[in-house]
Chain A
Amino acid sequence: MKMTLDASSPREGSPDPEARRTADVVAFAGSRAGFERALGGFRAILDRHALEPRTRYRCELVFEEIVSNIIRHGCADDQEHHISVTVAVIGDRVTLHFEDDGVAFDPRQSVPARESVGSDSGGRGLALVRSVSERIDYERTPNHENHLDVTIAAGPNR
């Protein structure tokens, strides 16, 4: 299913689960400008879920690090790219689902070699994502998209 651009509030009392689902998606161009515009929509989604402050911080951290990494490395060519992020809150767990059509990139494979604190590379960001995540799943789809699920661990720092 192709996700739609909609970061607006869900319709009050809407019985349509699809309407509620699309309201928790933010989609944007794979560029710095697209990222900056999307940030407000993503934070508005989090506002609606009234998350505990630590969980909220972790969601924003994962969004920041994953999206900036996609734009920096996955969308560095001259092509137009698109990114979407879906927020799913179930109980005290939040899963962020990222889709992009940039070059293949599995963040699970890239963290250990570059996570040195002394490095100026983006590896530090992926190390942060790993530190606040309970689970990370990645798939490169047959139609050349990256699908990444990051489930954020709630509660105390691990």
Chain B
Amino acid sequence: MTCEELLDLIHDYVGEELVIEHRETVEIHLAGCQNCTIRIETYRHTIRLARALPKCGKLPTGVEARLRKAVEPHLKAQAGEPGA
């Protein structure tokens, strides 16, 4: 297996989706190739860094007020408030 062939298998390797024969082939290659070992290690870091991003950070200044202004009449109507 070449380094370029391994590149195509990284997704399935880190996801533990490779069939055993392919997994063994990858691991034999990794045992003798530090560059590919580091590439897989940093590929995993890339996944972990993305997962660490906040999913519900604060709305930027002004956005909440504008959204509220646009949605408020519908919120009031839904709540059955008079004048909505």
Same complex: no
Residues of A with Cβ closer than 8 Å to B?
Answer: none
